[in-house]
Homo-oligomer: A and B are copies of this chain.
Amino acid sequence: MLALRRGLAARERRLGRGMLNISDETLEPEDWQDFRRQGHRMLDDMFDYLENLRDRPVWQPIPPEVRDVFYQPMPSQAGELSAAHQTFMQDILPYAIGNAHPGFMGWVHGGGTSVGMLAEMLAAGLNANLGGREQIPVEVERQLVRWVRDLFSFPAEASGLFVTGTSMANLISVLVARTAMLGRAVRVEGLSAACHLTAYTSASAHVSIAQAMDMAGIGTLALRKIPLNANFQMDTVALERAIAADIAAGMTPFLIAATAGTVDVGAIDTLDEIASIAKGCGLWFHVDGAYGALGMLASDIAEQLKGIERADSIAFDFHKWGQVPYDAGFVLVRDGTLHHDTFASPAAYLQREVRGMAAGSPWPCDYGPDLSRGFRALKTWFTLQVYGAEKLGRVISKTCALAQYLRTRIEAEPTLELLAPVALNIVCFRYRSTDLHNAQIVLALQESGIAAPSSTTLNGQLAIRAAIVNHRTQVCDIDALIEATLKFAADLPLERE
């Protein structure tokens, strides 16, 4: 085979390639040795960055002259790789949002790992499209599906798929639930006003649940936002009442979307109880476990997730508590056939064979909207192979222990006030002062580069919100947050609102 290819290349040289008037220009490096040296420098720069994160500010404001760098028009001519890399090191890397840094607590972002970085490099070099076809990369994704299935005690018929993130996983789940209620005909005929679908989630559910209802054509009005109990969980009495009222009014309830780890305070809905309500009413039981679901890896947190194993679908991200680099969301569906039937489409260019490159059906593209799909499974596979499930679980537990430590530090400071119970790894608190003062404290913290919490609104009050997700975060980072909060609170003038 190789002899044939080389023979042809030789024949072509004899014929004179120029006669064909076809360029032989490629995007290969002109000098591989030079190129390799530059590549190794780039890798070393990233190792330096990751090894010395603590020497940097968590975040820093963007100077106008740095922003201006990115207002150049599209380059028409080729440039040096080293020049592009220099711009990256000088003007991009220092002005990222900072979630790799141990002091980042702004939002539920994972920290990433150097293992994940290397795996992503391999995936990009291989350049696999995981839409389907007969290739081992698809087998790696299937192995991950089996691992996730087993983690949540789902049956062998369950299906799963990597997606960008939980927002997409929630959309896929809503669409499968729509098919479960209305049948496959809904794909062809669309929604008719006559079906009057209604769904249920808590008032603190992620916005992507409503967005999924919107995108699916059902509309956000059909999503009932059930009030919270004192623990910021869905009030199940109110839930049952809402379902009963809708049935009485001639509506068609089809879905309950519970949350495992709410975005604001990290509350976990009472999953087992909600599972029973869903089963009792014949509704689809979805769990948005964007970051909380991977708590299954930690024995102390898995207990709090009891009932998740009864879900019809689960959405979560490996790039949060799983520390896999962005993006790596996942959707798991109990009924793999229904999942398949919600997305699979016939097309001549997607024809399946029993041999050759078009074998191996069903393909990942039969389970979601994407035909072009990067190899997200690889960075996740490397993460699990290198760290193992137990260590990942211990790191998840550690973030929760740090949150409890932060709680005790807040409770020990008379000027600070806890604003919500700490169920997992998110702590919402405030300096006993005005909302404006607290907002200024958050900005001062962020701009100082010491610690990066965010703010949210709880029961009408502005809260300083610390989400501890990064495996690199330690006790000293919690202490730094408290010390700096107290310092800025004292330094900043208290303005009247």
Contacting residues of chain A (261-296) with chain B, CB-CB under 8 angstroms: 263-264
Dominant secondary structure at the A interface:
helix
**Is A128 in the interface zone, CB < 8 Å from B?**
yes
Query: Known: A325-B124, A454-B349. Is A22-B398 also a contact (CB below 8 A)?
Result: yes
Partner of A373, one of B74, B165, B357: B165
Asked if A189 and B390 make an inter-chain contact with CB atoms under 8 angstroms apart, the answer reads: no
Query: Known: A150-B74, A325-B374, A401-B22. Is A124-B129 also a contact (CB below 8 A)?
Result: no
Chain B residue with Cβ nearest A343? B211
Asked if A349 and B456 make an inter-chain contact with CB atoms under 8 angstroms apart, the answer reads: yes
Residues of B within 8 A of A355 (CB): 61, 443, 447
Residues of B within 8 A of A111 (CB): 27, 127
Asked if B100 and A126 make an inter-chain contact with CB atoms under 8 angstroms apart, the answer reads: yes
Asked if A319 and B121 make an inter-chain contact with CB atoms under 8 angstroms apart, the answer reads: no
Asked if A475 and B22 make an inter-chain contact with CB atoms under 8 angstroms apart, the answer reads: yes
Oligomer copy total? 2
Asked if B483 and A356 make an inter-chain contact with CB atoms under 8 angstroms apart, the answer reads: no
From A85-93, A239-247, A248-256, give the one contacting chain B: A85-93
Query: Known: A128-B326, A263-B349. Is A356-B443 also a contact (CB below 8 A)?
Result: yes
Asked if B71 and A143 make an inter-chain contact with CB atoms under 8 angstroms apart, the answer reads: yes
Asked if A107 and B210 make an inter-chain contact with CB atoms under 8 angstroms apart, the answer reads: no
Asked if B125 and A114 make an inter-chain contact with CB atoms under 8 angstroms apart, the answer reads: yes
Query: Known: A40-B43, A77-B390, A211-B369. Is A5-B127 also a contact (CB below 8 A)?
Result: no
Partner of A1, one of B35, B87, B449: B449
Query: Known: A96-B137, A164-B164, A187-B214. Is A382-B4 also a contact (CB below 8 A)?
Result: no
Contacting residues of chain A (1-53) with chain B, CB-CB under 8 angstroms: 1-2, 4-5, 8-9, 11-12, 17, 20-29, 32, 35-36, 39-40, 42-44, 46-47, 49-51
The proximity string for A residues 208-240 relative to B, scoring 1 for CB distances below 8 Å and 0 otherwise, is 101111111111111000000000000000000
Asked if A140 and B43 make an inter-chain contact with CB atoms under 8 angstroms apart, the answer reads: no
Residues of B within 8 A of A389 (CB): 74-76
Chain B residue with Cβ nearest A20? B475
**Is A133 in the interface zone, CB < 8 Å from B?**
yes
Residues of B within 8 A of A194 (CB): 193
Asked if B188 and A219 make an inter-chain contact with CB atoms under 8 angstroms apart, the answer reads: yes
Residues of B within 8 A of A9 (CB): 476
Which of A8, A85, A147 has the most C-beta atoms of chain B within 10 angstroms of its own C-beta? A8
Q: CA of A146 to CA of B70 in the docked complex: distance in angstroms?
A: 10
Q: CA of A320 to CA of B169 in the docked complex: distance in angstroms?
A: 25
**Is A84 in the interface zone, CB < 8 Å from B?**
yes
Asked if A167 and B219 make an inter-chain contact with CB atoms under 8 angstroms apart, the answer reads: no
Which of A216, A373, A474 has the most C-beta atoms of chain B within 10 angstroms of its own C-beta? A474
Q: CA of A346 to CA of B446 in the docked complex: distance in angstroms?
A: 23
Residues of B within 8 A of A218 (CB): 190, 217
Residues of B within 8 A of A300 (CB): none
**Is A109 in the interface zone, CB < 8 Å from B?**
yes
Contacting residues of chain A (97-128) with chain B, CB-CB under 8 angstroms: 97-100, 103, 106-107, 109-128
Q: CA of A397 to CA of B2 in the docked complex: distance in angstroms?
A: 27
Closest 5 CB pairs of A and B: A217-B217, A190-B219, A165-B372, A112-B127, A120-B124
Known A72-B143, A349-B454, A356-B443; further 6 A-B contacts with Cβ < 8 A? A23-B394, A40-B40, A71-B143, A84-B385, A112-B124, A355-B447
Asked if B480 and A8 make an inter-chain contact with CB atoms under 8 angstroms apart, the answer reads: yes
Partner of A395, one of B26, B29, B44, B327: B26
Asked if A128 and B96 make an inter-chain contact with CB atoms under 8 angstroms apart, the answer reads: yes
Residues of B within 8 A of A454 (CB): 349, 357-358
Q: CA of A370 to CA of B163 in the docked complex: distance in angstroms?
A: 10
Chain B residue with Cβ nearest A49? B125
Partner of A385, one of B75, B217, B373: B75
